[in-house]
Structure 1
């Protein structure tokens, strides 16, 4: 089903579950086809993040917009409403330039262009990095919810933030990794209120965090992992959890350029566009063609061979791959339309996601889509049961420039 004509040549795409307003469409309806988020057209969005039940977008001017589930203050303003289906500005961060953000189980993190980190949302496990408040009887207790974004990790100069189910991880400018909150499933270990440096990691280039597992890609190309491991998501060849980082097996000699972590699965991408996946395989989220096989060490996703993948995102039970020429392939659990295929199908076979949007009003093509013009996706983000993407309308000459 085609969407109405976009007013801008840059759009935010959304599909999947809409029950909490996380698609930003102004309603609470699931979308089985790719649709555009009208409220964000013309805002020059540079990044999007899809959480378990909410979403956010960062604009070129550093402004942050959020929408979706708000019962724990995850939208960054007082939870006067349980859900919000239209993107709204996070006013508490309007005086800083946000450059990157993350959504965890029910908390959010962001970092500005000065390396200052912020946190808000659920905080009962210390995931927002706030010290416990002292009560009248002398005891200390955490605030359950932090509804207005506030500084966290104030002593750190942060480059990247990542959020897990109930914990937070940041990468600092000096290449170190720090963490706080509840890094294991609640009840397994005592939570950490203030940032603690992860030992054994130097010169880290990129981090990715799942529900309770963590990945760090070093400058030398080595990939390290730690945390929960019941489905082999650490890639260590077993299912034993690790409290300290350990090298991921089977990737030596590969030039890794990107990593991604879903709820219980992990992905790595090489500079030649090859994809390696491991961890929980239920619903086909690893892309190996079946719907259940978990992998305890990374294995090449042969079904994506030749597609030249440049970025991937992992959701709770599905994954989306982005090619160099701006196409998307999705696979995994299909209910609520989260795969964007127009039907609620679950599949382990990566299948291209069709973008049935008409040309923008600014395009020279006004009546039908020219073979020389099309929507080009440049970033994807998977949430619990929905997916977001950023796409630009390009012509053949622009495509040749992008492809290099």
Structure 2
């Protein structure tokens, strides 16, 4: 039987603009919600210029491995628990279970070192938040939309190019203005925004130099929401709307993908497109293998198939495509290195890709100089120029990058956790995960019975056991019992020389930690027949 632990948050990447928030190790003792109540007016420290790397506050500017974040200490109890997170280039927004957004980082030149409650200005619950590079949109009850942040290209939808520190209603998207229709989802790109309504209409606004607003032709900017001609989707329903740096994509309930905007590097997934595609155009690669989800980076895209496989296309000079090479992908290709793992969620940072498997393991790949991949780096990496994939590389370096992961790699420092969701921005990653507290069932205790002539009893003299929560395992009679699907932390792995990955089946592994010298896997035929309920490894 599994007991669900509280949701915890971990961050890695660049923290120069406070976008990762307070770390547990750096967080002072204070009551939950104190910072939120103090900053409810939306005030923050104004920072002049961009030289924030040498802030007077003691913050780690780069975290190469995921570190626990102390977000719950700054969220007021009456606002509920954090249930979703969105990331921009230099800021992060969290949404609580009671529809209250909190933001931290640097927004419109104003720094929020700690999570601060965002005052929406209207007494409505927030349902969804989306972040662009330097702006954000929030969807509220009733279909109302607010925007704030940088608005140089009209991406706030207010009819001007003004920026705003506080959320303002986009009156052009009010339900009465839409003839009774209402917005059901919002999305933000580099400098443009998009929404779709319950009536299957799409509205875009903002920077349009590459046709990403979907008006059929390019112009510098469109500062008010404009409808996009979506007649090409026919009777299909819009399932998801996503935005990249200079393009926009729509996923339908039939698994079809429609894209428009800049086509360079193959980010639209079209076989032979023009330089600028001004109207929604179907990606033919997914007519036979429909998708269930989409995620956009700056210049590349990930797709999640209904079969649980991940697909990539677009920019790939740092290995974002996950094929072991550094080439752009003009059409969608299946990501390699994930065979045998069914994908549950996909996400993209600006220059990197991430997936979460159904087993709760996080894989990342792509450009990783800033530590946002959460991977441990090797001391020496091969130097590779963009070339045909004659040889597949797991990790490389190039003339402008010290670390490129060209194939998916598991984030081993989170192996003791079950990752539920991952989000990323322009230079940071935030992970939502739980620690599964495993308890042995009666059937599993019977399996243990008989080994070494002892019995596993609760509180018995011969069956004394000790739960190691930190290692995610149990210690009993000198044996380390690790439930299936649960990995130990690196500290425990160091104690087990040459420890293999835990198999997905036998529910228990018995490892003698003090006398272990070599490990050997159980007979494959026994695993296939399912005859092995527990396996004991001895020196």
- The normalised TM-score by structure 2 is 0.63
Measure, in 2, the Cα distance between the counterparts of 1:184 and 1:55. 27
User: Partner of 2:224 in structure 1?
Assistant: 194
Aligned length: 359
Partner residue in 1 for 2:15: 18
Would the aligned equivalents of 1:64 and 1:93 in 2 still touch at CA under 8 Å? Answer: no
Contact 1:338 1:386 in 2 (8 A): yes
Which residue of the partner structure matches residue 363 of structure 1? none
Give the deviation of 1:95 after TM superposition.
3.3
What is the aligned partner in structure 2 of residue 297 from structure 1?
331
State the partner residue of 2:282. 247
State how 1:151-162 maps to structure 2 within 5 Å.
Answer: 151-152=169-170, 153-154=173-174, 155-156=177-178, 157-162=182-187
Aligned-pair CA distance for 1:113: 3.0
Equivalent residue for 2:92, pick from 41, 55, 60: 55
RMSD: 2.5
> Which structure has the higher relative contact order (CA within 8 Å, separation 6+)?
1
Pairwise CA distance, 1:63? 0.8
From the CA coordinates, give the structure whose radius of gyration is larger: 2
| TM-score (ref. length: structure 1) | 0.83
Distance change (3 Å), C-alpha of 1:396 and 1:115: farther
- The CA deviation at 1:252 is 1.3
Other-structure match for 1:107 = 135
Change (3 A) 1:67 1:114: same
1:340 is matched with 374
Shift of residue 307, structure 1, vs aligned partner: 1.4
Equivalent residue number for residue 272 of structure 2: 238
Query: Is 1:385 paired with 2:432?
Result: no
Structure 1 residues 118 and 397: CA distance shift in structure 2, 3 A: farther
In structure 1, the gaps of 5 or more residues are 1-7, 73-78, 133-141, 358-373
SS of residue in 2 equivalent to 1:205: strand
Alpha-carbon distance between aligned partners in 2 of 1:44 and 1:330, rounded to the nearest angstrom: 27
Structure 2 gap segments, 5+ residues each: 24-58, 212-216, 378-401, 441-482, 485-503, 505-539
Given that residues 353 and 365 in structure 2 are in contact (C-alpha distance below 8 angstroms), is that contact kept between their aligned partners in structure 1? yes
Q: Aligned equivalents of 2:414 and 2:341: distance in 1?
A: 21
Corresponding residue to 2:66 among 17, 31, 34: 34
Q: Which residue of 1 aligns with 2:340?
A: 306
Cα distance per residue 1:315-344 (max 9 Å; x no partner) = 111111111111100001111211101347
- Bigger fraction of residues in strand: 1
Structure 1 residue 395: deviation in Å? 3.7
The answer to whether 1:130 aligns with 2:158 is yes
| Matches of 2:114 and 2:92, distance apart in 1 | 10
Contact 1:249 1:298 (8 Å CA) reproduced: no
For structure 1, which segment, 83-92 or 221-230, has the greater mean C-alpha deviation from structure 2 after superposition? 83-92
Q: Give the direction of change, closer, same or farther, for the CA distance of 1:354–1:98 in structure 2 (3 Å limit).
A: farther
Out of 288, 296, 300, the residue aligned to residue 265 of structure 1 is 300
Tell me the residue number matched to 2:352. Answer: 318
Q: Deviations over 1:190-242 (max 9, x none)?
A: 31121111102552111111001111011222111001111110000135220
Alpha-carbon distance in 2 for matches of 1:108, 1:297: 30
Distance 1:128 1:35, change over 3 A: same
- The aligned residue for residue 176 of structure 1 is 201
Shift of the 20–176 alpha-carbon distance from structure 1 to 2, 3 Å rule, reads: same
